[in-house]
Amino acid sequence: MGKAGDPDRGVELLWEERPALNLRAIVGAAVEVADAEGLAGLSMRKVAERLGFTTMSLYRHVPGRDHLVDLMRDAVLGDPPAQAPEDGWRARLETFARAAWDVRKRHPWLAERSGARHVPGPNALAHYEHALAIVVDTGLAPAEVVAAVGLVARFVDAEASALVEAARAERSTGVSDEEWWGARDTLFARFDRYPTLTSLWESGGFDQPDPFGFGLARVLDGIELLVRQRDVKRDETCQVCGNPVEQPTSGRPRAYCSRACQQRAYRGRRSS
């Protein structure tokens, strides 16, 4: 008879529950690695080690690292929130942007996966659809709707890139941004050469409780101004024939370009 196997190892194999290797488990483990180490620290080997499987076993489920990152990105996005039409487009777009910001604070590596040449998943497209649906009824032209949503998305990603840099620096040095700047007394001692900077510093100008919110509000201000301009432009066209309406310098604004169009509108209301 051959030499008996290790009985303790037999107990482990028989009694210890090992999670089944599947795509969801692989993506979940990969997210954990990226959250801790960024995309630079993500590898198929580390994901496999976290799951207790061999690296080669992962390739039966995912072709490679790039595909894995696409899957990770879609997984952390999740489903978009339900629409709340009573809040108005600006409030809903702000809520959408802040939700995207919260996701990126939890997963800063999302900002490392930039550029247009990666395949969006169903969750990513659902978020995009959600944002477009918020803006589409504002009266903006189709190209302006797409541009407005893209502007907000780029702002969120730009702010998130600062999180990436801060996390990367902290991982490499073990020192947070707050600790690093707090130790720069030799620099602060030279601020007296710059009176404007010193005045703003001493008056709390650099103490911003919500810099993301400030920037987002300015972006939304710009979109809102464009929406109002489009509203005014629509008000300057005749409601009957669509021709331009010359508005008086004072008094009630005109809805029709001529007396004839006004009478046509009146007759139409009477007949209906």
pLDDT score, position 4: 54
The whole-number pLDDT of residue 2 equals 42
Output the pLDDT for position 25.
93
Per-residue pLDDT at 190 exceeds 80: yes
- Same-domain pairing of 223 and 92: yes
Domain count, the chain: 3
- Looking at the fold, whether 58 and 114 belong to one and the same domain comes out as no
Looking at the structure, do residues 160 and 219 belong to the same domain, yes or no?
Answer: yes
Give the Cβ contact number of residue 172 at 10 Å. Answer: 9
| Structural domain includes residue 184 | no
Q: Match 């207790």 to its residue by tokens.
A: 52
Taking residues 127-154, what's their average pLDDT? 93
- pTM score, two decimals? 0.72
User: Tell me: the pLDDT tens digits for 249-270?
Assistant: 555 667 777 888 888 887 777 7
pLDDT per residue as tens digits for the range 9-41: 665 556 655 567 889 999 999 999 999 998 989
Q: Is residue 247 part of a domain?
A: yes
Residue 163: the pLDDT is 81
Residues 265 and 218 in one domain: no
Q: Are residues 90 and 150 in the same domain?
A: yes
Judge contact between 121 and 71, C-beta under 8 A: yes
Quote the tokens at residue 138: 């504002």
pLDDT exceeds 90 at position 47: yes
Does residue 1 register a pLDDT over 50? no
Q: Examine residue 207 and state whether it is found in any structural domain, yes or no.
A: no
Answer whether residue 206 is part of any domain: no
Looking at the fold, whether 257 and 148 belong to one and the same domain comes out as no
Instruction: Give the C-alpha separation, 67 to 119, whole Å.
Output: 9
Question: What does the pLDDT look like over 102-118, one tens digit per residue?
Answer: 999 999 898 886 555 67
Residue 197 lies in a domain: no
Residue 145 belongs to domain with CATH number: 1.10.357.10
The verdict on residue 67 lying in a domain is yes
Q: What is the reported pLDDT for 153? A: 94
The verdict on 84 and 162 lying in the same domain is yes
159 and 257 share one domain: no
Residue ranges of alpha helices (H) inside 2-111 are 7-15, 23-37, 44-51, 55-58, 65-77, 89-106
Asked if residue 138 is part of any domain, the answer here is yes
- pLDDT above 70: residue 119: yes
Q: What pLDDT does 155 receive?
A: 96
Same domain for 42 and 164: no
Taking the CA of residue 89 as centre, how many other CA atoms within 13 Å lie in the half-sphere pointing to its CB?
Answer: 19
Establish if 186 belongs to a structural domain. no
Residue at which a domain ends, from 43, 76, 109 = 76
At residue 69, the pLDDT reads: 92
Considering the domain architecture, whether residues 140 and 118 belong to the same structural domain is answered as: yes
Residues 64 and 131 in one domain: no
- Mean pLDDT in the chain? 83
Phi and psi, residue 116, nearest 5°: -90, -15
Domain that includes residue 66, residue range? 18-76
Comparing 74 with 171, the larger pLDDT belongs to 74
- Other Cβ atoms less than 10 A from the Cβ of 197: the count is 13
Q: Dihedrals φ, ψ of 37, to 5°?
A: -125, 0
Q: What is residue 148's predicted lDDT score, i.e. its pLDDT?
A: 97
Q: Are residues 69 and 86 in the same domain?
A: no
